[in-house]
A and B are shown apart, each in its own frame.
Chain A
Amino acid sequence: MDAESLLLSLELASGSGQGLSPDRRASLLTSLMLVKRDYRYDRVLFWGRILGLVADYYIAQGLSEDQLAPRKTLYSLNCMEWSLLPPATDEMMVQTSVVKGRFTGDPSHEYEHTELQKVNDGEKVFEEEVVVQIKEETRLVSIIDQIDKAVSVIPRGALFKTPFGPVHVNRTFEGLSLSQAKKLSSYFHFREPVELKNKTLLEKADLDPSLDFLDSLEHDIPKGSWSIQMERGNALVVLRSLLWPGLTFFHAPRTKNCGYIYVGTGSEERTTGPGDPALKQGAEGWNVQMREDGGWKWLWEVTARSPLRKATSCTQMRAAHRSGSPTHLLLAAPQAEELTNSFQ
């Protein structure tokens, strides 16, 4: 959300129950103004808050005139003193992906992770346990970057691409109409487009190059990872990410008020994947298979194979459990959805 319209934005986003206390609000308004001056940003966004066990991180982002240019991210623990975070790299993501659990609130805290590394000692190759230390600040950078790439949202038309390339704020944006506001296709990912170039010419035919230059939320994987609903008697549309619980996007239709805020623990919502040891242990005797579905890697199915019957599927297991008696009936085709829809 824009730092300049912070108070109104917080009011609109308060439906998720995450606000800021009056003292935090006041200090943010003051300090972000200074941030804008000192770092010479064109626009400063208040990005949100990552809840730590001891203290919370308050995050702000500075944008240059080109809205899609790499953003500068700052964090603060007291809303007054801001420190610049380094840009995120893929290396960081790989490194920090092993860290689980909550943030502590101390940026210099070091997570310890033991991993096996192959060490070449002369001719012998042997594995050695190496303790890797990961700074919480690095994890913070990586998580913010992941959230930005996955779920930052902007309504269609709020930005426009100038003929020279850079993306500017559309001053004539007057908000989505009510019918548009209820559709996921009217919202875009606020990041460099990834999926757009994979579209066919036919799909791109109706796009307006100055407005539709970003990926829309419509085809996000997994399907149904957004909750879209009207609040305040249809006067406000709120999108909540189910993938990153805590991210709230709000937009008052027919006005230019829009923005997103993240207040959460910084952990992604997932179900267990097939490689998880817990699953392998539990599914003894069952054949656990991962199913790739358009890049979504957590869809899996459990099947059991027996010499006589071709396959016993999840559906059958459910039926067996329902009746509570051993059956050898083959019911329907294997359906992984039966298991995974507990996520949806």
Chain B
Amino acid sequence: MGDPPPAPDLSARQPSSRRSSQVSEQRSQERAQLPPAVPDGVQQMPLDAQVLRSSQEILESQANLQSWSQGASLSPYEQLAMFQAEEAQLGGMEYPSLNRGFPSEFLPQPYLDGGGIQVPGNASLMQQLQQGRGNVFQELESAYQEPRPDLLGQFSMYQREDLQFSASAQHGPYMSDDPALQFSPSELGFMSFSMQVPEPEPRELAVQNAKAYLLQTSVNCNLSLYEHLVNLLTKILNQRPEDPLSILESLNRTAQWEWFHPKLDTLRDDPEMQLTYEMAERQKALFVRGGSGEGEQDMEEEVTETAVPNIMETAFYFEQAGVGLSSDESFRIFVALKQLVEQQPIHTCRFWGKILGLSGSYLVAEVEFREGEEEVEEEEVEELTEGGEAMEAHGEEEGEEDEEKVTDVIPKPTWKPPPVIPKEESRSGTNKFLYFVCNEPGRPWTRLPHVTPAQIVHARKIKKFFTGHLDAPVISYPPFPGNEANYLRAQIARISAATHISPLGFYQFGEEEGDEEEEGRAGRDTYEENADFEGIPVLELVDSLANWVHHRQHILPQGRCTWVNPLQKTEEEEELGEEEEKADEGVEEVEQEIGPPLLTPLSEDAEILHTSPWTTRLSCSLCPQYSVAVVRSNLWPGAYAYAIGKKFENIYIGWGHKYSPENFNPSLPGPIQHEYPSGPEIMEMSDPTVEEEQALKAAQEHALATAEEEEEEEDEDEDEDADD
């Protein structure tokens, strides 16, 4: 500490001139021609005198900071930062590997791996400084020959935010062009040390003490308050946020956080983002379809005959109505539907809507396969269920075997399940269409199984959120037959039947109405597009619900669109169950259920507790002539329809729950069953005591004895008789 500092030779000057030479060569030459430095080194720098004087006082007063002339010098914080960086460099002097210059990788070290490189405290630092200063500057010299932007490495902590500055100026607007100023930090450090050497003034000493105090490293980490403040101030000055005082706390926190969470190397993966990238990759596959040269010809063909609906157009109209998904999402759905049409033999395709779930949503596509395409999957499913039944049957048999072994056979219940109502054929009634669902565009489409009447009947009794996983069980009371895929399919059938509507006259019944009887029984179930349909004016559509009709069949309470007598046995059943039938003869005939026929106007829909089931309005009241008619279902919140001219479309986006003004009331268990009437046959008898047993035994013996006597008497009598 007491050693006189070595004279700052030209090597100390040179780096600065080198650095500046790229900016202004003339100036650097002037600098190089300066007379050699005097050992004392304080007054020897005429150019820098003012700067240095003020730099000595940096820590003393804020007034000085303010008086700092902005144009002529670096901001004091900048100097501090650079000085501090140098200190770090000096601390690491023992390591001769500094030839790399100032690569950015070196600088975070004081914070990251303290070890030998950390600032080792004031005294030793200064010793090292004095010993190695000449070397340092040589090192620096080589370092500065690196391309200029490398210098930024000094401030690499904040480089992320700095990028816009680095392009134009070396370090933002505060970096002065003056070559002397560029290097002043090192001089500052050097000067301040040399000043105190001979006879430290009290004020200088106070500054040194204060700095030494600030440089103490924290108990918890290798960081000192000094370094922290330097970094914080550098950050504030780099970013120049508005009103820094109000966000000082959070800046303080983030600055510290950033030291310990350096920006990840580009070579390392960011595991968090992995899923996002995967999904983007998957969706990319949707967009590149048909982009190859070969695809172009296909494209031409597709233009005429594709089954993909024009989702963008319907999305536009629904947007006018204030519903529907964003145009971006709609387009993704469009390409996803295109993919579906390519994969499956699809004749017609429609975007049905979206059902929201707890952890995922379902996008639902309503399709019709081309004629003759067999529904392979369906059969498989049936086989599976049959297999399951067979398994169950097998299990029962085993049980029976067990029962046979047990001597006490458990009595079989006399209760018989009600007859199962057969499900409707595909392409008719509730199973008229096939449905495919997927969670997100780009994910695979899954086909939903056909719906059974029992599923619809049970779905009416429960209210359950979808989870987003098709194979999730539906735990409910009363128990729902099937998993979530079945429940979803049942809800889709119910919503479709209730909310799919079209303007009156768009559809009409076919010409050939053969069976009058059939019509009378179940109503016509086919319709065709009316070629002569001219469209109904939008205002009329809004004014009267009679101008809208249902074009899906009503689902009867039975769970089917066409009624089937559950008591009517099929031939097989008749053979099997003739005996049972005799017992059932007493059962009365079931009354036929009749629903409203197809293409019934909405005005005949039932009210829900004094509120109308539909709300109609114009999409835009300001320009009625160009707006569309919008119909909203109040029974199924989320179901909408629009119509303009000859165009109309239905959509459902919601939770898949029916509206009820009352609270949901789960159906209750049946009445409690009666206990078996306690009678003597099931009364438990107390065991007889020994006395009782003995008494009984005695009584029996006595009875036996008397009986024998009687027998003997009889024998005697017989003998007598025989004798007679």
A-side residues, CB < 8 A to B, are 11, 14-24, 51, 53-54, 78, 100-102, 160, 162, 168, 170-172, 177-179, 210, 224, 227-235, 240, 242, 245, 264-265, 269-273, 276, 278-279, 282-286, 302, 304, 306-308, 312, 314, 317-318, 320-326, 328, 338-344
Contacts and interface: CB of A to CB of B under 8 A. Distances in A.
A286 B670 CA distance: 9
Contacts of B622: 23
Contact of A342 (B325, B326, B462): B462
B39 to A, nearest CB: 50
A229 B468 contact: yes
A302 B251 CA distance: 57
Nearest to A286: B672
A321 B32 CA distance: 101
A271 B663 contact: yes
B665 A276 contact: yes
Contacts of A285: 671-672
A19 B319 contact: yes
B325 A17 contact: yes
Contact of B247 (A171, A279, A322, A328): A171
B359 A11 contact: no
Contact of A17 (B279, B280, B638, B657): B638
Given A240-B356, A272-B663, A338 B477 contact: yes
B675 A306 contact: yes
B669 A314 contact: yes
A342 B664 CA distance: 10
Main secondary structure, interface of B, reads: loop
Contact of A19 (B272, B323, B637): B323
A19 B322 contact: yes
Given A229-B360, A265-B637, A22 B254 contact: no
Given A302-B668, A321-B478, A343-B463, A160 B655 contact: no
Nearest to B411: A325
B123 to A, nearest CB: 38
A170 B250 contact: yes
22 contacts: A15-B329, A17-B323, A17-B324, A21-B619, A22-B320, A23-B623, A100-B662, A101-B661, A172-B241, A233-B276, A233-B442, A234-B279, A242-B465, A271-B665, A278-B662, A282-B668, A286-B668, A302-B668, A318-B477, A321-B478, A340-B666, A341-B475
A102 B360 contact: no
Contact of A273 (B361, B634, B638, B663): B663
Nearest to A271: B664
B668 A19 contact: no
Contacts of A341: 475-476
A17 B654 contact: yes
A16 B199 CA distance: 77
A176 B415 CA distance: 59
A102 B615 CA distance: 12
Interface residues of B, number: 83
Contacts of A11: 326, 328
B611 A16 contact: no
B347 interface: no
A186 B464 CA distance: 27
Most B C-beta atoms less than 10 A away, residue of A15, A78, A168 = A15
Chain A interface, >50% SS class: loop
A307 B677 CA distance: 13
Nearest to A232: B329
Given A17-B324, A54-B615, A101-B661, A272 B666 contact: yes
B612 interface: yes
Nearest to B609: A101
A172 B241 CA distance: 10
B249 interface: yes
B357 A227 contact: yes
Interface string B658-702: 010111111111111101100000000000000000000000000
Q: Closest 10 A-B residue pairs measured CB to CB?
A: A17-B653, A233-B279, A325-B413, A317-B669, A14-B326, A21-B322, A234-B276, A282-B668, A272-B665, A178-B272
Given A233-B280, A270-B664, A321-B479, 16 more contacts: A17-B653, A19-B322, A22-B319, A51-B637, A102-B634, A160-B250, A168-B246, A210-B249, A242-B358, A245-B637, A264-B637, A265-B659, A271-B666, A326-B415, A328-B675, A341-B475
Contacts of B204: none
Interface in B463-477: 463-465, 468, 475-477
Contacts of A162: 246
Contacts, number: 198
Nearest to B668: A282
A322 B480 CA distance: 11
A228 B246 CA distance: 33
Nearest to B359: A229
Contact of B250 (A54, A78, A172, A264): A172
Contacts of A172: 241, 247, 250-251, 254
A314 B479 CA distance: 13
B669 A302 contact: yes
B357, B361, B462: residue with the most chain A Cβ atoms closer than 10 Å: B361
Given A21-B619, A53-B612, A242-B465, A322 B479 contact: yes
Of the listed residues A54, A171, A177, the one surrounded by the most CB atoms of chain B closer than 10 A to its CB is A171
Contacts of A342: 462-464, 475-477, 664, 666
B275 interface: yes
Contact of B358 (A19, A23, A227): A227
Contacts of A314: 477, 669
A253 to B, nearest CB: 9
Nearest to B417: A324
A66 to B, nearest CB: 14
Nearest to B466: A227
Contacts of B550: none
B307 to A, nearest CB: 24
A340 to B, nearest CB: 8
A326 B465 CA distance: 31
B462 to A, nearest CB: 5
A20 B322 contact: yes
B485 to A, nearest CB: 18
Contacts of A320: 669, 673
A235 B278 CA distance: 12
B621 interface: yes
B273 A178 contact: yes
B603 to A, nearest CB: 16
Contacts of A343: 463-464, 664
Contacts of A178: 272-273, 276
Contacts of B671: 284-285
A202 B666 CA distance: 41
A235 B279 CA distance: 10
Contacts of A177: 272
B283 interface: yes
A306 B657 CA distance: 37
Nearest to B628: A21
A306 B247 CA distance: 68
